[in-house]
Structure 1
Amino acid sequence: MPEVKIRKQVRIVEEIFHEGGPVAATPRRRAAIVTVIENPYAGRYVEDIAPFMEDLKPLGVAMAKELVVALGGDPKAVDGYGKGAIVGAAGEIEHGALWHVPGGYAMREALGDALAIVPSTKKVGGPGTRLDVPVTHSDASYVRSHFDAMEVGVSDAPRADEIALVLVMTCGPRVHARVGGLAAADISKRDGLR
Structure 2
Amino acid sequence: MAEALLRKVVTVADELLLELGRPVAVPVRRVAAAAVIHNPWAGGGLVADLGPEVERIAPGLARLLTGRISEALGGVDRIESFGKAAIVGLDGEIEHGGALIHTPFFGNVFRELTEGTSIIVFSDDRLPAGEPLTVPLWHKTAAATRSHYQTCQIRIPDAPRPDEIVVIAAGASGPRPNARIGDRATDPLIRLADLDDLDDLETVT
Shorter-chain TM-score bucket reads 0.7 to 0.9
Does the 8 A contact of 1:103 with 1:167 survive in 2?
no
Write the mapping of 1:50-65 to structure 2, written as runs, cut at 5 A: 50-55=51-56, 56-65=58-67
Return the alpha-carbon distance in structure 1 between the equivalents of residues 81 and 21 of structure 2.
Answer: 22
Aligned to 1:129: 131
Q: TM-score, normalised by structure 2?
A: 0.82
Q: What is the Cα deviation at residue 21 of structure 1?
A: 5.6
Q: What's 1:12 paired with?
A: 12
**Structure 1, residues 123-172: CA drift from partner, whole Å, max 9, x if none?**
11110121111101101111110111111121000000000000000011
SS at match of 2:19: coil
CA distance in 1, matches of 2:108, 2:21: 36
How far off its partner does 1:104 sit?
Answer: 2.2
Deviation at 1:25, TM superposition (A): 5.0
Higher helix share: 2
Counterparts in 2 of 1:87-126, with a 5 A limit?
87-98=88-99, 99-101=101-103, 102-112=105-115, 114-126=116-128
Q: How does 1:17-96 map to 2 (within 5 A)?
A: 17-20=17-20, 22-43=22-43, 44-55=45-56, 56-73=58-75, 75-96=76-97
Number of aligned residue pairs: 180
Q: Distance in 2 between matches of 1:175 and 1:149?
A: 12
Match for 2:28: what amino acid?
Answer: R
Q: CA deviation at 1:18?
A: 2.3
* Structure 1 gap segments, 5+ residues each: 184-194
For normalisation by structure 1, the TM-score amounts to 0.87
Structure 1 residue 107, shift from structure 2 partner: 2.4
Shift of 1:111: 1.9
CA contact (8 A) 1:128 1:158 kept: yes
Deviation at residue 115 of structure 1 after TM alignment: 1.2
RMSD, matched Cα: 1.7
Distance 1:26 1:178 in 2: 12
CA shift, 1:29, in A, is 0.6
Query: In 2, distance between residues paired with 1:181 and 1:50?
Result: 39
Any runs of at least 4 consecutive aligned residues in structure 1 with deviations exceeding 4 A, and if so which? none
Can you give the 5+ residue segments of structure 2 that lack an aligned partner in the other structure?
Answer: 186-205
SS of match in other structure, 2:23: coil
- C-alpha offsets along residues 67-114 of structure 1, whole Å, 9 cap, x if unaligned? 1111012x22211000000000110000011122344223211222x1
